[in-house]
Structure 1
Amino acid sequence: MSNQAPNEARVIPLRPAAAPDQATAPARSPQRQGPAFAPRQTPPAPTSREPLWRDLVGDVLRRERLAQERTLKEVADAARISMPYLSELERGRKEASSEVLAAAARALGLGLTDLLSLAQDELARSARPRTGRSRTTAPYNGMCLAA
């Protein structure tokens, strides 16, 4: 038999009782009731900024165009994209679709694989000084594309 009154609900706490310093904190408003979450942990700030993929690809496009002594207009016309858009790509201001990257690469006499391989080399080069470790295993020569 229960010692509880017949029309009273019994409350079973699902969370441990509040710590003494939380007992004096103001209660949450009724519409904001919900589970208590631990404070969000912010990840430590990286020591150096990793380059963005669009910056690496843009650098490769510009370097290849300048090595061929071609103007933005010539390459943009050959790729059938606008000159301002190609300029934005070279400066890393725009994320290009794979179709646009392939067209820009073809206009420079490269395949999409060549363009991405050169960008991967740039990424590997920029990552090496940051780690400060020498490789003890064979280098990875694969390519990873993410959309």
Structure 2
Amino acid sequence: MTKSTHARKWRREDFDGVPGAPEASTWYVEPRRPLRITKVDIYRDGGTGTMLVRDAADSRWTFCFDKFLGRLCVGAHTSDDDAAFVRSGSPLETELFDLMDQELQQLTSQPPALSPRGLELLSHFHQHALAHSGQHRRRSASHRR
């Protein structure tokens, strides 16, 4: 897996948190909905996951999953300057978990947009990110409405 250079970069000045542990809680530029996950992969560094999200205008945002805890982050890789943890309970986290839930639920209603490996990785990263966020079991977005 190589890093994507076409995705929007997150800006460090928009991050919250403490030095050494920046956090993002909102989109720095609002995407045009609907959003879709178009790729999920894993780096050869021992487990960092990556997820590419596209919006209706075909803008791209990269997210990653920390290789140690599986925590959801913004940016292509946790070692990048534009990477930050997604704040637990934030609007950004809620929207991304809803998006992952929807992608995983679509398996039964239509052909998936992701490859079988991508879906397997998404399921794995999703579960680890939920556990880190304290949401071991989450009702799907369709059941909350």
Larger relative strand fraction: 2
TM category (shorter chain) comes to under 0.3
Point out the structure with max Rg over C-alpha.
Answer: 1
Scaled by the length of structure 2, what TM-score is found? 0.23
TM-score by length of 1: 0.22
